Structure 1
Amino acid sequence: MNEGSTEKMDRKRSALIITFIAAIAVVVALYLARGWVVERVYFKTAEKVADKFSTKAKSKYFDDFHYTTNKFWTFYQNGTVSRNDLNDVIWKMRKLEKKREVSDTEAFDLIGYVSRLYTDAMNEKLQKKINEKMQNERNGQKGKLKKE
C-alpha cells in the first residue's frame, strides 16, 4: 500500500468513528429526552382539554382537573401508575380535545377516570406492602412457635 491510500483509509475510518459516536450521542439524547417529551405531550393535551371546558365545567371542575392531572403525573413519575395508564389518559384527553366543547359531565367523568387510575394503583401498591409485611410477620411467628 502506498501512503495516499493509507491516508484515505485513516480519514474514512475517522469519519466512520465520528459518525458512530454521533449516532450513539443522538440515541442517548433521545432516550434522555423521552421523559421530557412525554411530559410535554401530557400537559399540553391537558391544557387544551381544559381550554375546551364549557363555562359550567370550568366553574365546577377546572381546579379539580388541574389537581388530578398533576397528581396523576406525580404517580406516573414515581412508578405507581404505568405507561399504559398514561397512554390511556392521553387518549381520552385527545378524544375530548377534538370536541368543540367539553361538557361538565365529560369533565367530571375524565377527572373520575384519572383519579380512579392513580387511586387504584396506589391501593394496589399499598396492599402489596401490607401482604409482604404480613407474610414476613407470619414467617417470624412460625419460627417463634417452634421455639415454644
Structure 2
Amino acid sequence: MREKLTDITLSLSDFDKLEALLESLPPSDPARQEKAGSLSHALARAMLCHASEMPPDVVTLHSRLTVRLGQRESKTLTLVLPDELQAGRTDLLSVLAPVGTAVLGLTVGTTVLWPMPNGILQQIEVLTLHHQPERDLHQSAAGRQDSQGKMRLLPQ
C-alpha cells in the first residue's frame, strides 16, 4: 500500500514559474526528467492560492528554511529555481533536488518520507521558516496601512 503524500500549498505565481521550468527541461536528459516527474507530481497535488493569501508558515520559492534530514544535524537553506544556483553556495537548494521538491509547499513542523535517488526513503522535517517572500510582503504592506486598514504613503 502506498503512503498518501502530504498536501502542499503553492502560490499561483510559484505554480506558473514551476510549470514553465518543467516545460523548459530537455526531454533528452533522463536524470532531469526523473526530477521533473517528482516536481510534476507535487504540482498535481498542490492547493493554489494568491500570494497575498499564502499562510505565513508555508515553504515557497525563495523561502529560507531550516530542515532536518533523518537524524542528522539541521541545515538552513534557501529554496531556489535551478538557474539561481551559484557555484560555491551550499546554502542554496534547487527545487528540482529531491529535498527541494520534498519541502516545497510544506508547513513548518511537517515531516515527510521522500524517495532519494538511491531508492532509500529519507525523513525530512521542516523545522523553521526564517524568510518567506509572501509573508514579508504582507508585513511591509501592513506597515503602510493606517488604523482603518487604508493604505498610507510612507515618508520619503
- Greater percentage in strand: 2
TM-score by length of structure 1 reads 0.29
Task: Look at both structures and tell me which one has the larger radius of gyration over its CA atoms.
Answer: 1
- Greater percentage in helix: 1
| Larger RCO of the pair (alpha carbons < 8 Å, separation 6+) | 1
